[in-house]
Amino acid sequence: MNNQNLLSRITFNSKVLAGKPIIRGLRISVAMILELLAKGATTEEILEDYPELELADIQAALFYAYQLVDKEEITERVSA
């Protein structure tokens, strides 16, 4: 699956989870998937706990996060 197809799985709806990025219109946020992965959940565990998700949804969440971080620029404050 190419990057555009992955990103098309990420949707926004101001009436669902206050407009946070979600997976395919479901009430499952990108942030929740990232948090589960950060806490050590495996892809298999997430898919088992959330059967409406597909492997590509988890890949989409990771790619979405990558896109945000890749564009981020940190400017350092230099003290006088």
Mean pLDDT by groups of 10 residues along the chain of 80 residues:
90 92 96 98 98 97 94 73
Among residues 6, 8, 15, which one has the least CA distance to residue 60?
A: 6
Contact of 67 with 7, CB cutoff 8 Å: yes
C-alpha radius of gyration, the chain, whole number:
15
Domain residue limits, the chain: 3-67
Q: Find where tokens 């197809």 sit.
A: 5
pTM: 0.83
Does CATH place domain 3-67 in 3.30.750.24? no
Q: Find where tokens 């946020």 sit.
A: 29
